[in-house]
Amino acid sequence: MQPENNNENAPQNMNDSHQTQTTAAPQRRGKKRWGLRFSFAFAALAVLLALACVWLWKQNSYHKYQVDHLITHLQAAQTALRHRDTDLRAITKVISAPDTVQVTLIHQQGTPPGEARLMYNARMGIVVYSGEIAPAPEKKSYQLWLVPSSGAPVSAGVVKANQDAGAKVAHVPQNLSAKAFVVTLEPEGGQSQPNEAKVLVGAVGTP
């Protein structure tokens, strides 16, 4: 009788096996879907983190640039203040010194119009210049010269067209006897010796 029972149970076993396989298949597909979802979520999170890092780096770089820019401006302002303080001290000394001479520089015909004034103290070797001239042509500069009693002219530096906004303090060799001061039109930045383009001229001893 045993063989008959086995035969009767065989279809039941096959049905159970088929049901088990049918149930397992959706489970595997479900696991694959969850795996794909997790992979996509992880990839999206990685992209967001990368973008956040780039944004933070840019923000940090921008703030660093702002701080560096501010420091540069503060340092420049401090340097300008120190120079201005030095110039003010020099101006005060020149004004109060009894041996300071004053010179008026007059516009020369055929040149840009203007006028200037200066104070010169030979003992200190300090020139204080203030004046206003028509703007210099492109790639040209106005340059102030001390014309000594003997020898070649000595540069007192480039001057602005509108130097009335702030006096220029120039240092020249001490105890240099001057017979005149001249402003010439030179190549941009000035040069070691003047050319013939005299814009302003003032003789020492002339009020």
Three-state SS for 198? strand
Q: Which residue, 126, 173, 123, 118, is CA-closest to 151?
A: 173
CATH label of the domain that carries residue 160: 2.60.40
Same domain, 112 and 79: no
Could you give the CA distance from residue 170 to residue 131 in angstroms, rounded to a whole number? 14
Domain boundary among 46, 62, 96: 96
Could you give the CA distance from residue 48 to residue 52 in angstroms, rounded to a whole number? 6
3-state secondary structure 161-190: CEHHHCCEEEECCCCCCEEEEEEEEEECCC
pLDDT of residue 203: 95
Same domain, 2 and 64: yes
pLDDT of residue 18: 46
Same domain, 66 and 110: no
Domain boundary among 96, 120, 140: 96
pLDDT of residue 103: 95
Could you give the CA distance from residue 101 to residue 18 in angstroms, rounded to a whole number? 120
Same domain, 105 and 197: yes
Domain boundary among 54, 75, 96: 96
CB 71 within 8 A of CB 159: no
- The residue range of the domain holding 136 is 100-203
pLDDT of residue 83: 62
Per-residue pLDDT of the chain (207 residues; tens, 9 = 90+): 444 454 444 445 444 444 444 454 555 555 555 555 656 666 777 778 878 787 778 777 766 666 666 666 655 655 655 666 788 888 999 999 999 999 999 999 888 899 999 999 999 999 999 999 999 989 999 999 999 999 999 999 999 988 766 789 999 999 999 999 999 999 999 999 998 789 999 999 865
Alpha helices in 97-172 (DSSP H): none
pTM reported for the whole predicted model: 0.62
Could you give the CA distance from residue 98 to residue 104 in angstroms, rounded to a whole number? 18
Q: Output DSSP code: residue 114.
A: E
pLDDT of residue 2: 46
Domain count, the chain: 2
CA 170 to mean position of chain CA atoms: 26
Tell me how long the chain is: 207
pLDDT of residue 46: 77
Which tokens is 178 given?
A: 């001057």
pLDDT of residue 1: 45
pLDDT of residue 20: 47
